[in-house]
Amino acid sequence: MIIGVTGGIGSGKSTVARAFGELGIGWVDADDVAREVVAPGEPALAAIAERFGSQVIDSDGCLNRAALRQIIFEDPSQRVWLESVTHPRIRERLLAHLAQLSALSPYVLLVSPLLFESGQDRLVQRTLVVDIPEDEQLARTLARDHVSETQVRAILAAQLSRDERLARADDVIDNSHGIDDTRQQVSALDQRYRTSITRT
C-alpha cells in the first residue's frame, strides 16, 4: 500500500514523514526526486539550461533554483513547460524508489507537496493531508526559507486551496499543536494502516 502525504508549503510534511520513519515506515520525498532529475548531467537540466540560459545555472553547474523559481512564478506558461519536462521523469523515478522500499516496509509513503496538482495521487491507495492554518504556513515558510512574503504567497496561490486539499483527503493530521501531538496522530494512523493491510 502506498500512502500519499501532502500539504501546503510549510505544513510539516517532512516532520510527519520522519515520525512515520521512526515507526519503521519507508518514504520517498517527491521534492528530493525532483532535485535528482535536475542534477548535473541529467537530461532535464540540459533542457532547462537550453530554454532559460546561463542565468538558471550556478557556477558549479547546478540549477539555480531561486532564479528559476522567479521566472516560473512571474510567467505561469513557463511553469507549465517546466512541469512537462520534469514531471514524467519524476514519476518514473518515484515508482522505482517506491518499488524498492515496498520490499522493506509494510506500507510506504509518497511525500509530495503537489500530490493532487501533479496527478501523483493516482499512484497511491490513500491520501494523508498534513494541515495547519494558512497564516502559520506563511510564518513558518518565511522563517525557514528566507524568501519574500510575495514569493511565498505566489507559491500558496499555485497550490490547491486548503479547503480543496482537505476535501480530497482520506486522512488528516493537524500539525498545529506541537510535535508530541503530531507523533500521537501518526502512531494512531500507523496502527490503522497496518490493520487494513492485515485485513486485505
Closest CA to 72 of 89, 57, 52: 52
Question: Whose grid coordinates read 515506515?
Answer: 25
141 is in an annotated binding site: no
Q: In this structure, are residues 3 and 110 in contact, taking their beta carbons and an 8 Å threshold?
A: yes
Q: Is 6 annotated as a binding residue?
A: no
The DSSP result for 114-177, as a single string, is TTTTTTGGGG-SEEEEEE--HHHHHHHHHHHH---HHHHHHHHHHSPPHHHHHHT-SEEEE-SS
- Annotated ligand binding at 102? The verdict is no
Is residue 10 annotated as involved in ligand binding?
yes
Beta bridge partners of 6: 129
CB count within 10 Å of CB 130 equals 26
Whether 32 contacts 14, CB under 8 Å:
no
Would you say 61 is a known binding-site residue? no
| 3-class DSSP state of 186 | helix
Compute the distance between CA of residue 25 and CA of residue 5 in angstroms, rounded to an integer.
13
Binding site, residues? 10-15
Binding site for ATP, residues? 10-15
